[in-house]
Structure formats: structure tokens, C-alpha cells
């Protein structure tokens, strides 16, 4: 049912009786043109754009649990395109542009809120690094502003400007950045894909990608074998586990990243703020909770939960810039599994196996990429060529040396 003022009033009067499932719960067919492994944000977005942009219908999304149960429902909801490397800039900007029209496109309110993303800097050299980044963005028409200390103070007055260990000198602001309601993104794409005929198969686990004569031909699942002409791996933290069933070895390691939310309070934090002398980032949800995170728990993990050192480090960084929140209470912290790539940038590419496509390496930046990733992956699968905005995100770049290393920390994933 389309969401409109009319349907809402009608249903309010009708006691909300006529709403139907936002997506169907179909039985798997024997064969699909395209099978996507992974019912997270990126997989659902890929299915949606395959159907919408390329008119393809015979598509299945396999999800081993419930859709949106992985990173798309666990992240800190930040959306931005303030990247520095030429390989990343056009891709993330395409993604941000898609975000900007997403509600109207999906007829689903994902609460995209362009409240701004402010990266604080704490030294002259960091200011110049941010200027370098802002200028790289400007080369592609991406918005960015370098603020001085007074301008930052005006925007976020309760930061510690007086007594900080690393004094705040200013910030790089991207006004078009912000946050979105993470679960709604998964549900909105699922609804859009489902209504265009995509089969979303929950509780359907891909056990084995079947490869015959160098070509991917289908997926063994807990619900039987599903034939497919093309298969896309969109499995985020579980990429390695899925890909190895096809014999692929990848430049990916899975780490746990924790996220945190405080009790809900009245508005305090007006935009996304990040701490330049640490990794801390924070925003406030519409509901009022402070949503924040910082560094990875530095070890590989598939356990989706973290440990106390990272908890304490994160909160020390929080208090370092916002001493005023020390009496606010932590409500919940949890972990997600990050598919960390070797240069900190994503991979959207074909593999050496005919008909098998790969979308992974999102590190801890996958949420903002959701629409762009789906759009470009759909383009690749449908047309067998890289989308121009994602043409640098090749799998082979590690061999050739065309790495996209924003942080300059090299092939050690837990440093990105």
C-alpha cells in the first residue's frame, strides 16, 4: 500500500486494520536470474536498483537470519561523503545524492537528516590535512567548509574549549552529511524491492556456492539448491565465509566494532561531531539517545560483541570533548562484524569466477554507502561493467598498487 496522507488518515480511522506485510514471505523458486547472498542494507539496495534501474525481476535475496540483522541495524547511522581519495570521492558523493532523494524514491521515511558532519581538528597540521581533504572534495563539487574555533563554538557550544588535552582549533564541516534511521533503510529497500517482484528469502542460509567449469551456477542453502545465472556476494562481515565456499581468497579481515547509545534526553548534540585526536564520533538520534562509537576492538572476531578496553577508550574520548555528558548514562553497547579491507576502502567487482560478483570491504563505513553500493553493484551485475563512480573499487588494485588508503596506514586492517 502506498504511504500517503490519504492512506494514513484512512487507516487511522480503520484502526490500522488494512496494512499488509511490508515484504512477502515467498517460497524459494528453483531458479533465479540473480541471487544475492546477504539481506542487509547493501543486498536489499542492490536488489531494489536491479529491479528499478535495470528492469530485472527474477531476483532473490538470501538472508540467513532476518533482514537488516547485521551491520545496517547496528551502526551509528552516519551519512556523509567527505572523503579524500579520488577513488572514493565520486562513489560516496553518488551515494549521498541518492540518500538525498531516497524517501521520495522509496516512499518510505528513512529519516535522512542533513544536520551536518563536523570533524574537529586539534593542530595546525591536522587543519591542513582537513583542508587537503576539503579541497579534494571541492574538486568534485562536494560541499565542505573549514571552520575556525569560534565558528565551531557557535555551532556546538558545549564542547570543551578550555581544558582539553588536545585543544579544539576548528573543524571540517560537511553540511549535507548527517544521519538516517538505520533499520528503516533496510525495510524501505526491502519494501521497494519486494513490490517490484524481488523474492526476499529470510532464514535462508547460503551454505555453498556451486561452481561448475569456472562458472557460478547456484547456491546450496538450508532450503535446498537454488539455481542462478548470476550470484552476488553482499555478506559484509561474513564475506570470507561465503566466498571461500567458491574457493575465493580475499584481502579481508573481520573485526568487531562496538556502538553505543545513551538514555534519551532532550536535544543537545546538533550535528555529527568527530574527535580529531581520537576516533570518537557522536550524534543524537531523533528519539534523544546519544549514539556514538570510536575504534575497533583491535582483534579479528565473528562474535559481534566487544570488550571493556574499547568501551572505556570510547567513553574517555567522549568525555574528552564533551565533559558535560559525564552524568548522562550509557544505555546499551553492542558489536558488529566489520569486513575490513586491506586499504580501508571497499570492493565492488567481478571475481575470477564467471557469474560471481563481489561487494565487500566496507570497513566501518558501510551504512553511508548503502544506496551507492546497491546502485553500483546493480549496475555491475546487470551490465557486466563497473559503474563510472565505482571504477576504482577494483579487487585487483592490491596487486597493481592502485590502493585507496585514506588513512595512510597500509595493509593492516585494524589501523584504518
Partner 1 sequence: MSQINRLAEGGLINRSKPLNFSFDGKTYEGFEGDTLASALIANGVSLFGRSFKYHRPRGVMTAGSEEPNALVELRTGNRLEPNSRATTVELFDGLVANSQNRWPSLNFDLMSINSLLSPFFTAGFYYKTFMWPASFWEKLYEPAIRRAAGLGKPPEGFDPDHYEKSFAHCDVLVIGAGPAGLSAALAAGRSGARIILSDEGPLLGGRLLSDNLFINDMPALDWVQKVTAELENLPNIKILRRTTVFGVYDHGVYGAVERVSDHLAVPNEFSPRQRSYRIIAKRAILGSGAVERTMVFGDNDRPGIMLGSAVRTYINQYAALPGKRAVVLISSNDGLRTVDALKNNGAQIEAIIDTRNGEMIQRALGGKRVQAVQTIDKNGNIRIVECDLVAVSNGWNPSLHLTCHLGGRPVWDEAKNAFLPGKLPTGLTVAGAAQGKFTLQEALEDGSRAGNEAAEQLGYQVKSIEIPSAEPEVFAHQPTWRIKSTKGKSFVDFQHDVTDLDIELANREGFKSVEHMKRYTTLGMATDQGKTANVAGLAILGEVSNRTIPEVGTTIFRPPYTPVSLGALAGHHIHRDFRPTRLTPSHQWASERGAVFMETGLWMRAQYFPEYSGENWLDAMIREVKGTRESVGVCDVSTLGKIDIQGKDAAIFLDRIYTGTFSTLPVGRVRYGLMMREDGFVFDDGTTARLGEHHYLTTTTTAGAAKVMAHLEFCHQVLWPELNIAFTSVTEQWAQYSVAGPNARAVLEKIVDPDIDISNEQFPYMACKSITICGKIPARLFRISFSGELAYEIGVPNRYGDALIRALMDAGKSYGIIPYGLEALSTMRIEKGHVAGGELNGQTTPRDLGLSKMVSQKKDCIGKHMSERPALLEPERPILVGIKVKNTRSKLTGGAHFLDIGSQASLDKDLGHLTSVTYSPNLNCWIGLGLLKNGRNRLGETIRAVDFMRKTDVLVEVCDPVFLDVDGERLRG
Partner 2 sequence: MRIPCPFCGERDLQEYSFLGEAGLKRPDPKADDAQQQFHDYVHIRKNKAGLTNELWQHIHGCRSWIVVRRDTLTHEIFSSEFASDTLKEPAK
The residue range among 75-83, 127-135, 244-252, 362-370 that interacts with partner 2, by the rule CB under 8 A, is: 244-252
The verdict on 251 binding partner 2 (CB under 8 A) reads: yes
Q: Which of 253, 354, 405, 406 binds partner 2 (CB under 8 A)?
A: 253
DSSP string, 21-77: -SS--PPPPSEEEEEEE--SHHHHHHHHHHHHHH----EEEE-SSSTT-SGGGTS--
Phi, psi of 61 (to 5 degrees): -110, 120
Please say which residue, 167 or 214, places its beta carbon nearer to partner 1: 167
CB 142 within 8 A of CB 81: yes
The verdict on 399 binding partner 1 (CB under 8 A) reads: yes
Site for partner 2 in 333-362 (CB under 8 A): 342
Q: Which of 245, 333, 398, 405 binds partner 2 (CB under 8 A)?
A: 398
Site for partner 1 in 22-41 (CB under 8 A): 22-25
20: alpha, beta or left? (left if phi > 0; alpha if psi -120 to 50): beta
The verdict on 264 binding partner 1 (CB under 8 A) reads: yes
The residue range among 21-29, 138-146, 304-312, 364-372 that interacts with partner 2, by the rule CB under 8 A, is: 304-312
- Cα–Cα nearest to 80, from 367, 404, 296: 367
User: With CB cut-offs between 5 and 8 Å by kind, which of partner 2, partner 1, none does residue 249 bind?
Assistant: partner 2
Residue 266, number of CB atoms within 10 A of its CB? 6
Residue found under cell 589501523: 415
The verdict on 110 binding partner 1 (CB under 8 A) reads: yes
Rounded-to-integer distance, Cα 159 and Cα 274, Å: 11
The verdict on 213 binding partner 1 (CB under 8 A) reads: no
User: With CB cut-offs between 5 and 8 Å by kind, which of partner 2, partner 1, none does residue 174 bind?
Assistant: none
CB 91 within 8 A of CB 369: yes
Q: Binders of partner 2: how many residues, by CB under 8 A?
A: 25
The verdict on 66 binding partner 1 (CB under 8 A) reads: yes
- Residue 103 contacts by C-beta under 8 Å, 6 or more apart in sequence? 109, 110, 112
Please say which residue, 324 or 410, places its beta carbon nearer to partner 2: 410
Q: Which of 77, 81, 114, 221 binds partner 1 (CB under 8 A)?
A: 114
The verdict on 197 binding partner 1 (CB under 8 A) reads: no
User: With CB cut-offs between 5 and 8 Å by kind, which of partner 2, partner 1, none does residue 29 bind?
Assistant: none
The verdict on 240 binding partner 2 (CB under 8 A) reads: yes
Rounded-to-integer distance, Cα 291 and Cα 76, Å: 6
Q: Which of 14, 132, 241, 287 binds partner 2 (CB under 8 A)?
A: 241
Residue 226, number of CB atoms within 10 A of its CB? 23
The verdict on 114 binding partner 2 (CB under 8 A) reads: no
Quick check: helix, strand or coil at residue 80? coil
The separation between CA 397 and the C-alpha centre of its own chain, rounded to angstroms, equals 22
CB 320 within 8 A of CB 165: yes
- Cα–Cα nearest to 40, from 65, 60, 70: 70
Phi, psi of 46 (to 5 degrees): -60, -45
Rg (CA), the chain: 21
- Residue 278 contacts by C-beta under 8 Å, 6 or more apart in sequence? 294, 295, 313, 317, 320
* x/- letters, 306..335, toward partner 2 (CB under 8 A): -xxx--------------------------
The verdict on 400 binding partner 1 (CB under 8 A) reads: yes
Q: Which of 138, 208, 247, 384 binds partner 1 (CB under 8 A)?
A: 138
Closest contact distance (angstroms) between CB of 374 and partner 1 is 19
User: With CB cut-offs between 5 and 8 Å by kind, which of partner 2, partner 1, none does residue 55 bind?
Assistant: none
User: With CB cut-offs between 5 and 8 Å by kind, which of partner 2, partner 1, none does residue 311 bind?
Assistant: partner 1
The verdict on 135 binding partner 1 (CB under 8 A) reads: yes
Site for partner 1 in 285-324 (CB under 8 A): 286-288, 303, 305, 307-308, 311-312, 315-320, 323-324
What does the binding site for partner 2 look like in residue numbers (CB under 8 A)? 238, 240-241, 249-254, 298-303, 307-309, 342, 398-399, 411-414
Amino acid at each position: 500500500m502506498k504511504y500517503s496522507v490519504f492512506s494514513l488518515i484512512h487507516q487511522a480511522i480503520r484502526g490500522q486494520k488494512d496494512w499488509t506485510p511490508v515484504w512477502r514471505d515467498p517460497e524459494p523458486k528453483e531458479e533465479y536470474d540473480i541471487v544475492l547472498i546477504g539481506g542487509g542494507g547493501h543486498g536489499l539496495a542492490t536488489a531494489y536498483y536491479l529491479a528499478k534501474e535495470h528492469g530485472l525481476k527474477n531476483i532473490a535475496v538470501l538472508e540467513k537470519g532476518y533482514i537488516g540483522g547485521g551491520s545496517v541495524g547496528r551502526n551509528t547511522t552516519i551519512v556523509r561523503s567527505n572523503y579524500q581519495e579520488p577513488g572514493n570521492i565520486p562513489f560516496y558523493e553518488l551515494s549521498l545524492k541518492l540518500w538525498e532523494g531516497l524517501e521520495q524514491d522509496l516512499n518510505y521515511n528513512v529519516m535522512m537528516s542533513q544536520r551536518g558532519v563536523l570533524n574537529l581538528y586539534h593542530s595546525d597540521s591536522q587543519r591542513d590535512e582537513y583542508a587537503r581533504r576539503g579541497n579534494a572534495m571541492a574538486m568534485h563539487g562536494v560541499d565542505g567548509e573549514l571552520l575556525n574555533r569560534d565558528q565551531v563554538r557557535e555551532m556546538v557550544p558545549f564542547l570543551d574549549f578550555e581544558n582539553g588535552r588536545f585543544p579544539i582549533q576548528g573543524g571540517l564541516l560537511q553540511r549535507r552529511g548527517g544521519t538516517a534511521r538505520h533499520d528503516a533503510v533496510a525495510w524501505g529497500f526491502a519494501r521497494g524491492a519486494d513490490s517490484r517482484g524481488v523474492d526476499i528469502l529470510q532464514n535462508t542460509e547460503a551454505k555453498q556456492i556451486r561452481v561448475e567449469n569456472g562458472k557460478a551456477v547456484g547456491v546450496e542453502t538450508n532450503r535446498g539448491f537454488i539455481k542462478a545465472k548470476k550470484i552476488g556476494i553482499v555478506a559484509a562481515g561474513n564475506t570470507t565465509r561465503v566466498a571461500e565456499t567458491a574457493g575465493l581468497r580475499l584481502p579481508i579481515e573481520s573485526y568487531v566494532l562496538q556502538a553505543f547509545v545513551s538514555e534519551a534526553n532532550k536535544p543537545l548534540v546538533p550535528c555529527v561531531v568527530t574527535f580529531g585526536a581520537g576516533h570518537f564520533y557522536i550524534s543524537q538520534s531523533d528519539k534523544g539517545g546519544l549514539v556514538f562509537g570510536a575504534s575497533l576492538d583491535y582483534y579479528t572476531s565473528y562474535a559481534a560483541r566487544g570488550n571493556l578496553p574499547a568501551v572505556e577508550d570510547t567513553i574517555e574520548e567522549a568525555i574528552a570533548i564533551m565533559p558535560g555528558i559525564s552524568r548522562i548514562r550509557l544505555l546499551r553497547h553492542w558489536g558488529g562484524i566489520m569486513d575490513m579491507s586491506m586499504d580501508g576502502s571497499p570492493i565492488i567487482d567481478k571475481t575470477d569466477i564467471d557469474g560471481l560478483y563481489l561487494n565487500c570491504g566496507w570497513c566501518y563505513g558501510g551504512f553511508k554507502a548503502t544506496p551507492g553500493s546497491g546502485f553500483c553493484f546493480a549496475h555491475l551485475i546487470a551490465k557486466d561493467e563497473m559503474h563510472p563512480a565505482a571504477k576504482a573499487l577494483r579487487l585487483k588494485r592490491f596487486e597493481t598498487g592502485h590502493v585507496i588508503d585514506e588513512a595512510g596506514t597500509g595493509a593492516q586492517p585494524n589501523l584504518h
